[in-house]
Amino acid sequence: MNDHPKKALLVCEFRQGKLLESTYELVAFAEQLGASPIMLLIGSESEVPDFAGKVYLAEAEKYGEYNPEVHRQLVSEIAQKENPAYIVFVHSSYGWDLAPRVASTLKASQVSEVIAVMDGKFEVASCNAKMRRLMAPRTPLAVLTIQSGAFSFKGQASGTPQLESFDPGAGEARVEFLGYEAAEKKAVDLAKAEVIVSAGRGIGKKENVGTLEALARALGGELGATRPVVDSGWVEHSRQVGSSGQIVAPKLYLACGISGAIQHIAGMKKSGFIVAVNKDRDAPIGEVADVLVVADVMQFVPALTSRLQK
């Protein structure tokens, strides 16, 4: 019997000359998986991660910060050399574009946007995040992408990597990387707010949004919202919190009438202190809340606002 842990090849992201912090989320995922991590960085030696393990370095100056065909070849060659059980990307524009290319090349299973690991299986959201399901790859190698924010790295990154230069050469690229285009500036930058009061479907109707806005003003904060509230037209998209909206980490986050879909939790779980107000004491939001107030949100919020205004 082989008692050695399975290997996980973690593919770092390197953008505009910098290693992305999401690299350490990959490390946290490997720890939860119980896998032995090795890394591939297509970047520069000055940006090698603080990591006590093997890091293959392919120079971005030669191979580009992103080129799908070239990077697919690099990842595939490392995989054939190391024989990992898992190849892991962050579920970003880089990861979701490259992962299926690698999976197809290596004839591996692919599981996208993993949010948790349970008994060696991978939990993903389904039915617009209303349900969750467990996926078990059927091939010896699985290519995975993990949801941003779902696996938080605790503590300070440390360690001296065992650096190995990787320069196999690459075939002629069929596309040219032109650069990055900045996203439109958000009307509201919730990432800078110290207090956020967020509305979920539990507030009942659009007309009740004003009640939460009043609480946000009383606390000197901003109004946020879940995707269903935004999709219903109750609040503008610029105030959406979650993996498909803004990722926030205020000192205080009040979740009002929010059940706790994983996409929303991924966007606010790093908040300093979380208060959830919900009639359902078993709502998933209670798993991340520091305080869960079991109450009718439209009775509790006006009472709290009134007290704060005195």
Could you please state the CATH topology (level 3) that the domain comprising 190-309 is classified under: Rossmann fold (3.40.50)
CA distances (Å), 249 to each of 147, 255, 276, in order?
Answer: 17, 13, 15
Which pLDDT score, from 0 to 100, does residue 206 have? Answer: 95
Which pLDDT score, from 0 to 100, does residue 1 have? Answer: 45
Crossing angle of helices 93-106/68-82, nearest 10°?
A: 60
CA atoms within 13 A of residue 300's CA, in its CB half-sphere: 17
Which pLDDT score, from 0 to 100, does residue 155 have? Answer: 66
- CA dihedral 56→60→62→64, nearest 10 degrees, is 120
Residue ranges of the chain with pLDDT lower than 70?
1-3, 128-130, 155-157, 171, 183-186
CATH number of 7-165: 3.40.50.620
- Report the distance separating Cα 84 and Cα 137, nearest Å: 14
Which pLDDT score, from 0 to 100, does residue 183 have? Answer: 67
Which pLDDT score, from 0 to 100, does residue 2 have? Answer: 53
What are the boundaries of each domain within the chain?
Answer: 7-165, 190-309
Residue 199: closest CA among 221, 166, 173: 221
CA distances (Å), 189 to each of 22, 183, 184, 222, 254, in order?
Answer: 21, 13, 12, 9, 17
Q: Do domains 7-165 and 190-309 have the same CATH topology?
A: yes
Task: Fill in the amino acid letter for 65.
Answer: E
Both tokens of 82, joined, read 């190391």
